Amino acid sequence: MIGILLAKKIFLSFLRNSSKIIHRILKQLSIMRDLKEYVTHCIDELKSIGIEPGRILTLEINTRARKRWGACSPEYDEKGNIIGYNISINKLLLDEKIPEKALKNTIIHELLHSCKGCLTHKNQWKNLAEKVRMELGYDIRRVGSSDHKGIAIEIPSKPPKYIIRCQSCGETYSRKRKSKVVDHPELYRCGKCKGKLERVR
Ligand SMILES: [Zn+2]
Ligand SMILES: [Zn+2]
């Protein structure tokens, strides 16, 4: 009898735990926004004010970009005519913790590049961007930094390749590329205390 009760107890706690795990997995899945849904919605919004985006061939979620929020690149046929556009959006923007507006601003920005004569941020693109700002309220200025999107997220940056350290005060200076100070730190002095410098990475 006790054995059966124990088995029942174990079975019930197993059920409870597994439903917790399933719940957690479902929650994780729902954190990601559906890019296609948003793009469709944004296309409709543009059409509603008379802007006709080009043919979108592929939608890609970019998981590697560090500084880029989105991109729109044309695809050409053998004769050099544009047959459509590929749009990619930074995965970070699909996170539900990021304001929806940031994602939509980026999508609209890229969709505008697919309009006629809008590959660059010049005249025609600028005109449409202004129209979108006036009529739909999207601020899709060229600058891709987070402050222009009203979001405070940090895109993880690459760790510096080289690090120079002051032997006296310990101040460190990081450099992404090779330079004179990277090659010959002994020729330079610390900006803070004029101490001798050494390369530690
Ligand atoms: Zn752009
Ligand atoms: Zn120093």
* Count of domains forming the chain: 2
Ligand nearest to the CA of 142: 1
Q: Could you list the residue range(s) of the whole structural domain that residue 192 is in?
A: 162-199
Q: Which residues pair with 164 in a beta bridge?
A: 173, 199
Ion ligand 2: protein residues whose beta carbon lies under 5 Å: 166, 168-169, 171, 190, 192-193, 195
Share of the chain above pLDDT 90, in %: 56
The sign of the torsion formed by the CA atoms of 44, 46, 49, 54 equals: negative
When the pLDDT of each residue in the chain is averaged and rounded to a whole number, the result is 84
**118-129, pLDDT tens digit by residue?**
998 889 999 999
Model-level pTM? 0.59
Position 16 in a domain: no
Same domain, 135 and 186: no
Same domain, 181 and 116: no
Q: 128 CA to middle of ligand 1, Å?
A: 12
